[in-house]
Structure 1
Amino acid sequence: MTTGTIDLSKTVYELVTAHPEVAEILYGIGLKEIKNPAMLNTAGRFMTIPKGAALKKVSLDEIVAQLKALGFEVINDAGE
Structure 2
Amino acid sequence: MQDKVKIADQIIRNLQDVEDPELFVDIVNLGLIYGVDIEDSHCTVTMTLTTMGCPLNEYLDQEIKKAVLKTPGIESVDVKLVWYPVWSTDRMSDAAKKALGVGEVKSEKSYSDEKLLDFYTSIKTFAQEYPDFVQDMYDIGFTRIKIPGMLNTVGRVMNLELGSKAMGFDIEDVKKKLEEKGYKFDEGR
- Indicate the TM-score class for this superposition, using the shorter chain for normalisation: 0.7 to 0.9
2:181 is the counterpart of 1:73: no
Structure 1 window deviating more from structure 2 (20-29 vs 43-52): it is: 20-29
Q: Could you say which residue in structure 2 is the equivalent of 1:21?
A: 132
Distance 1:19 1:58 in 2: 22
Q: Which has the higher contact order (CA 8 A, sep 6+)?
A: 1
Aligned residues: CA RMSD: 1.9
Q: Which is richer in strand?
A: 2
TM-score, normalization: structure 1?
Answer: 0.80
1 or 2, which has the higher helix percentage? Answer: 1
Q: Which has the larger radius of gyration?
A: 2
Q: Deviating runs (4+, > 4 A) in structure 1?
A: none
Q: When the two structures are aligned, how many residues end up with a matched partner?
A: 76
Contact 1:3 1:70 in 2 (8 A): no
Q: Displacement, 1:68? A: 1.2
Task: Name which of 123, 138, 159 aligns with 1:48.
Answer: 159
Contact 2:140 2:177 in 1 (8 A): no
Distance (Å, rounded) in 1 between the aligned partners of 2:128 and 2:120: 15
TM-score calculated relative to the size of structure 2: 0.37
Segment drifting more, 68-77 vs 54-63: 68-77
